[in-house]
């Protein structure tokens, strides 16, 4: 290990850190989960004055990896007839895939509040009561797509029936958003209802999503969803962006990140950096808690 130029590691998954750091070796902290689930491994807190670069979902990381990107389309995607057919096939209101039930964001409580206000929501995954076999066993392949070849999965068969996908994250943390509201959902003809810690207006095209933060209460959100579900013209307004742009997964960006790492390693003097306390950077950026408790659970 003392002859390696750089090491990328996830201390959350490590019992202990490397025993020592040779002079000039670059340590890169990589983490794609939110700090809501505090890392219990000793390694995470033993990284003072050792980490040089960061590789996370955070926008202030040295290498920011997002779960999707929008590119300009060469020609419009849907004809008016195709849009009419898409709406006609949608005979259900909302769907959500949840594999972890008790989480910091209390997303299941939010789902139940929506249901109490008359929004039909089907819950798939280990937290749902229907079609558990549809839970995707190859989640990371579908999210990160390291191979560059995505195979059709459960979403391809389920989402066309629904008008809304509840993109509810397990925690509400600075910049934390995943494939739930990016490429894995945005590639389908469905409106994502987003509840996370990201700046959605920075990451998504205008009128391509619904943000729960924009509503004073769950009831107000539910009323808007029900209006859209019954109004084809208003609903299809959320598809206009698809005529000009498309979403792609993170495969190309994932590979490009490693190219950028290589570029920096070949120019070490231009990229010298050290994080005094990586745990503080990840958990308390700029002296504030990176995650917050739900404040939007107002009936």
- Give which of 27, 22, 64 is closest to 48, Cα–Cα: 27
The string of pLDDT tens digits covering residues 200-219 is: 999 999 999 999 999 999 99
Separation CA 176–CA 290 (nearest Å):
9
- pLDDT over threshold 70, residue 134: no
Predicted confidence at residue 161, as pLDDT, reads 95
| Per-residue pLDDT tens over the stretch 64-123 | 988 888 999 998 899 999 999 999 999 999 999 888 888 899 999 999 999 999 999 999
pLDDT class for 129, splitting at 50, 70, 90? low
Q: Give the residue with greater pLDDT, 264 vs 142.
A: 264
Domain boundaries, the chain: 6-65+250-287, 69-248
Q: Which residue bears the tokens 């983490």? A: 31
Rounded CA gap, 177 and 246, in Å?
19
270 Cβ contact list (under 8 Å, min separation 6): 264
Rounded Cα gap, residues 289 and 285, in angstroms: 7
DSSP state of 155: H
Tell me what the mean pLDDT of segment 195-201 comes to: 93
Of 150-164, 180-194, 215-229, least confident by mean pLDDT is 150-164
- pLDDT above 70 (res 156): yes
Fold assignment, 69-248: Rossmann fold (3.40.50)
Q: DSSP E strands: which ranges in the chain?
A: 6-9, 26-31, 53-56, 63-64, 69-72, 92-97, 121-124, 162-168, 191-195, 210-211, 245-248
In this prediction, residues 114-143 reach a mean pLDDT of: 74
Q: Rounded to two decimals, what is the model's pTM?
A: 0.91
Read off the pLDDT of each residue in 234-255 and give the average, rounded to a whole number: 92
């Amino acid at each position: 290990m003392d002859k390696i130029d750089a090491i990328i590691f996830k201390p959350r998954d490590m019992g202990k850190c490397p025993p020592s750091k040779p002079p000039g070796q670059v340590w890169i902290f990589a983490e794609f989960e939110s700090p809501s689930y505090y890392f219990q491994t000793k390694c995470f807190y033993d990284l003072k004055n050792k980490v040089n670069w960061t590789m996370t979902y955070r926008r202030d990381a040295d290498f920011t990896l997002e779960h999707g990107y929008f590119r300009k389309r060469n020609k419009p995607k849907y004809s008016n007839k195709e849009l009419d057919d898409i709406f006609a096939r949608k005979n259900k209101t909302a769907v959500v895939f949840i594999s972890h039930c008790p989480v910091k964001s209390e997303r299941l409580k939010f789902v139940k509040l929506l249901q109490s206000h008359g929004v039909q929501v089907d819950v798939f995954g280990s937290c749902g009561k229907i079609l558990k076999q549809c839970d995707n066993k190859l989640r990371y392949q579908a999210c990160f797509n390291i191979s560059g070849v995505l195979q059709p999965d459960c979403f391809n068969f389920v989402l066309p029936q629904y008008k809304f996908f509840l993109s509810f994250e397990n925690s509400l943390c600075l910049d934390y958003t995943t494939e739930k509201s990016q490429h894995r959902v945005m590639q389908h003809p469905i409106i994502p209802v987003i509840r996370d810690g990201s700046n959605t207006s920075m990451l998504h095209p205008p009128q391509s999503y619904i943000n729960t933060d924009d509503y004073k209460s769950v009831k107000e959100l539910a009323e808007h969803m029900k209006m859209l579900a019954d109004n084809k013209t208003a609903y299809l307004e959320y598809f206009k962006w698809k005529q000009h742009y498309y979403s792609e997964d993170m495969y190309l960006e994932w590979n490009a990140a490693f190219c950028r790492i290589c570029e920096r390693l070949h120019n070490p003097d231009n990229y010298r950096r050290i994080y005094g306390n990586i745990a503080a950077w990840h958990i308390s950026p700029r002296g504030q808690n990176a995650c917050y408790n739900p404040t939007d659970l107002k009936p």
